[in-house]
Amino acid sequence: MKIGISLSSATDFASAIAEIPSYEAAGLDVVWVGESYGFDAVSALGALSQVTHRVELGSSVLGLFNRTPATTAMSMAGLDALSGGRALCGLGASGPQVVEGWHGVPFDAPIGRTREVVEICRAAWRRERLQHSGRHYRLPLPADRGTGLGKPLKLINPPVRPRIPVFLAALGEKNLALTAEIADGWLSMYFWPERAHDVFGAGLDRGRARRDPGLPPLQIVANAPLAIGERTEGLIDRQRPKIAHYVGGMGARDRNFYNKLLAAYGFPAQAARIQDLYLAGRKDEAADVVPEELLRHISLIGTETEIRERLAAYRKAGVTHLTVIPLGESLEERCAQIKALRRLIDATESTA
């Protein structure tokens, strides 16, 4: 099981980049960088490629609507070259508020576009001349939609790898099915191991049934705050404001995927209440409604014995990557958490 850290677009990239080598030395395996409508992910990942030696470098996520498919392929091929073959291409649709508000393009057919973007990227990384006749993308552009001078081109630079792993962010059943069918990995959100199959299983199973047998098993990335020790009281509550933000305010009232996820986990009343409070500006009250049972099951906070039990649950649910938020006041304390988790993972895997 790999250990990752995620940097959001709101991160002070310069400070974070300076710290990552210490995490790498502590046992970190992956750094994920998001972008949303903040700084872009690719520039930070390029900088990280020059100060690290071993960790994989993933986008979490590049928006489908932000770039042309070829631009995404170029960016990730460039990162793969700079890092010596350590790039992970994380993609996601984002949502209509960001896509239409920030990028000014229609939020249409995210699932169909995802499939085509992945197909085009993989063709580009194989250094094929891009010829794609899809519903959403046409390469080259037909004469009736342009000058008629476009021609099939291939990537100028020979890629370091002909296939960069693609991870898709997905929550809805159709998107989960597509992810399990075509992707190398799934970027989950608020993954509750014991209830994951009930909530996500139908979509993932449908996609796996259509998966190319030549593809390796689907990798699953879960997120969790991390604090291993005898005195962790109160740390679990640090998640409340962020979860309330996602469940209450990430998307319109009737288009909030995270709100639907909390309801699917068995908390429909709390999901509705959090959204009502958050949209009314009562954010602290919304955070108080986040169920403690949820907090405990999507966390790695507790004693070594408790964390061993949580690791077993994640492993049973098929999780291959744990992206953690190490809790600690200093870099030294946070690195100590990574070291402790690495030791527990290695110990439990050796006895599994």
For residue range 94-143, list pLDDT tens digits in order.
888 899 999 999 999 999 999 999 999 999 999 999 999 999 999 999 99
Query: Amino acid identity of 294?
Result: L
Distance of CA 276 to the CA centre of its chain: 27
For residue range 216-256, list pLDDT tens digits in order.
999 999 999 999 998 888 899 999 999 999 999 987 788 89
Contact 309, 237 (CB under 8 A): no
Q: What percent of the chain has pLDDT over 70?
A: 99
Q: CA angle, 324 as apex, 65 and 200 as ends, to 5°?
A: 60
Nearest to 265 by CA among 283, 285, 284, 247: 247
Cis peptide preceding 159, ω within 30 of 0? no
For residue range 242-300, list pLDDT tens digits in order.
999 999 998 778 889 899 999 999 999 999 999 999 999 999 999 999 999 999 999 99
For residue range 49-99, list pLDDT tens digits in order.
999 999 999 999 999 999 999 999 999 999 999 999 999 999 999 888 899
For residue range 155-181, list pLDDT tens digits in order.
999 999 999 999 999 999 999 999 999
User: What confidence score (pLDDT) does residue 352 get?
Assistant: 60
Contact 225, 234 (CB under 8 A): no
For residue range 326-341, list pLDDT tens digits in order.
999 999 999 999 999 9
Distance CA 75, CA 115 (A): 18
- DSSP SS3 for 241: helix
* Residues contacting 325, CB < 8 A, separation 6+: 5, 6, 223, 224, 225, 226
| Phi and psi, residue 34, nearest 5° | -95, 175
Distance CA 173, CA 201 (A): 9
pTM: 0.96
